[in-house]
Structure 1
Amino acid sequence: MNSAFASWTDFFAMGGYGFYVWLAVALALVPILLLCLHTYIQREMIFTAIIQQQAREVRQKAARARREGM
């Protein structure tokens, strides 16, 4: 099996269309990577909010139990 390009330089040049090819690749990959990063950050924020809500509910139950026990 033969490669379509004779060297790495030819590969990156893409037959004279390298600028457009690699620009298109970058314009496709950058938003995907940003979306992955945004999703990860949002996921962490949601988990943090859930943990805080659960802790708040535990504190409220404890305070309610103390008030009812008096």
Structure 2
Amino acid sequence: MQFESFSDFINMGGYAFYVWLSFGITFASMAVIALQSYVKQRWLLKAVVSEQARRARIKKARQQGQNDEGHV
């Protein structure tokens, strides 16, 4: 489709409201999905680091417990 001027392009042959609304909803939805993905990734990384630290503390406590039993 070819337009005579930029205002004709913006007007979209009388369907501008529907066309630009659909573009707006699409881009807003994509932005929300991207933001949710970023937030979820950050949350998961923090959870993994926290779990690794927890397991390291448990392992260290068990090793210290075994060492304490050996000295008795």
Following TM superposition, the consecutive aligned residue runs of length 4 or more in structure 1 with deviations greater than 3 angstroms are: none
Show CA shifts across 1:7-59 (max 9, x none).
22221111121111100111222112211110111111011100110011011
Q: 1:33 & 1:8 partners in 2: Cα distance? A: 27
TM-score with structure 1 setting the length: 0.85
TM-score with structure 2 setting the length: 0.83
User: Which residue does 1:19 correspond to in 2?
Assistant: 17
User: Which residue does 1:37 correspond to in 2?
Assistant: 35
**RMSD of aligned Cα (Å):** 1.3
Equivalent in 14, 39, 53 of residue 51 of structure 2: 53
What is the percent sequence identity of the aligned residues? 34
Q: 1:24 & 1:35 partners in 2: Cα distance? A: 16
Q: CA deviation at 1:5?
A: 1.4
Of structures 1 and 2, the larger Rg is shown by 2
Structure 2: 5+ residue stretches without partners? none
Q: CA deviation at 1:6?
A: 2.2
How many corresponding residue pairs? Answer: 68
Structure 1: 5+ residue stretches without partners? none
